[in-house]
Amino acid sequence: MVGQLHGEAQLSPASSAPSSPGERWETWGAARNGARIVVTRVQALALVALTGLGGALVGTIPRDGLIVCLAIPTVLYFVTSVHKIVVLIRGEFATDDVTADSDIPAEDLPLYTVLVPLFHEGRILPTLVARLKELDYPPERLEVLLLIESDDEQTQGAASEYPFPPHIRSILMPPGQPRTKPRALNIGLHEAQGEYVVVYDAEDQPEPDQLRKAAAAMRKLSPDVVCLQARLNFYNWRQSFLTRLGAVDYAVWYNQFLPGLTSGLARPGAFVPLGGTSNHFRAEALRKIGGWDPYNVTEDCDLGVRLGREGLCVAMLDSTTWEEAVPRARPWIRQRSRWVKGYLQTYLVHMRRPLRLLRELGPRGFVDFQVLVGFNSFLLLFNPFMWMLTITYSVTKGTTTGNFIQSLFPAPLYYLGLLCLVLWNFIFFYSNVYVCVRHNMMRLTRSALLTPLYWVLMSAGAWAGLASLVRHPSYWAKTEHGVSLPEADVFAGASQVGPSAQGAVW
């Protein structure tokens, strides 16, 4: 029984092998054909050929070659802008998030497993456990697994001294590489006894009834809906301009954009880029598709692609999990670098056989994948060049340099670029302000004026992510948690840091 899983002040080791003898966690499930190989030989040859072709064009016909090189990202800017408009409109008219009657008798509730991967989280452990205790779910039907790395003495020490309730236990991860969150999640999935599995991060504060809502929704929905994504936002949004902009970004993404991708309930073959936390899964379905890719540092995005390719569905859950936003620029760039690196990994993995991807995702899912994962990542990398070109032209207009830059934009390209400049910025500002107004976050509307700074930091993170992908493909840039909470609250396990009511005006 779940109540017998806990041994106080002890850390139980996880099984040292996956479900079948001879397998290793480094090659089990999604790891077999995942991001363990960053670039295939065919992809490397294609990249070299494209780079050589671009260099040859610029070298032999410099002006025309540069026009072609500038036309490609300009078209991508336009396509990405149009795609965002379409998805936001779909999100506006999408059906509501999945709701179901959560008032189910305790004896009828399914066994639920909560997976919480931890690394250097000893400081916030009391707060985490306090929040987990607030989950409105019968302890005898709940299993909470704290996944701790074998060499993480800090978290091990905190866990061994903390009086966990019977339904919470700590598990030591067996030694091995890569040392990533998805590897720990795969091991936790192997140990999990629950019919349903949810992933939370160390700093998360889910709404107390979230598990009940998810269990009721899963019973109500078709079996091919194997994942429910709860909304995410930040409890420390007041801390800095970065946390305010992050709250706006999350509000747009989880309240407008993801509903536009799922259209309430995602159709089979849809691509839905999952968040890294508050994903509720049917455990058996997750095992069948091989869990998470341990080499991919945005395992959530990769899993969203693989669910779509298997014809499985994702739905939005009418519940919110409050997270901690990174308040300072340097760690924020580190976090963003991991996200962009993972998106690049995901794109390279799933574009190994593009025609097969198109067949499995369908045209709409394929376009969503290309724009959200491929085009957006490329444009984040390309943005600084366009900014420098625009600034240089503005400063040197009427000179030889300015005239040369102007010659690189013949009329069709110039007007398309001008449309992108105006349309892209308008969509970004308007959607941010609109979502804040619609969802009672009025105080955040002024933060939209700072979005250009956000773009600069995003591109800095993208370039850091590309460099990390080249040097250390599976390196996990760890985000420190608990930095927004006072020391006394962290060690006392204070948890009431989120809004007092979901409808509160921010």
Q: Own/partner pairs for 300-303, CB < 8 Å, 24+ apart? A: 300/273, 300/274, 300/275, 300/276, 301/273, 301/274, 301/342, 301/343, 301/346, 301/373, 302/30, 302/34, 302/35, 302/342, 302/345, 302/346, 302/349, 302/350, 303/30, 303/274, 303/279
What is the percentage of the chain residues whose pLDDT exceeds 90? 63
More confident residue, 482 or 80: 80
Give residue 468's pLDDT.
95
In angstroms, the CA 237 to CA 260 distance is 25
Chain segment 300-344, per-residue pLDDT in tens: 999 999 999 999 999 999 999 999 999 999 999 999 999 999 999
Domains of the chain: 23-482 (3.90.550.10)
Write out pLDDT tens, residues 138-189.
999 999 999 999 888 999 998 888 889 999 999 999 888 888 999 999 999 9
**Total H helices, total E strands in the chain:** 17, 9
Query: What are the pLDDT digits (tens) for 409-449?
Result: 999 999 999 898 887 788 778 888 888 888 888 888 888 77
Q: Note the pLDDT of residue 458.
A: 95
Q: Of the segments 148-152, 162-166, 376-380, 486-490, which one has the largest average pLDDT value? A: 376-380
pLDDT reading at 209 higher than 60: yes
Range 390-413 average pLDDT? 93
Q: What is the pLDDT of residue 177?
A: 85
Looking at residues 355-361, what average pLDDT do you find? 95
Q: Which of 46-55, 78-87, 193-202 has the highest mean pLDDT?
A: 193-202
> Residue 194: pLDDT above 50?
yes
* Nearest Cα to Cα of residue 438 among 204, 87, 82, 88: 88
Mean pLDDT confidence for 493-505: 42
pTM: 0.90
The pLDDT of residue 230 is 95
- The pair of structure tokens assigned to 292 is 């998470």
Residue 501's pLDDT is 36
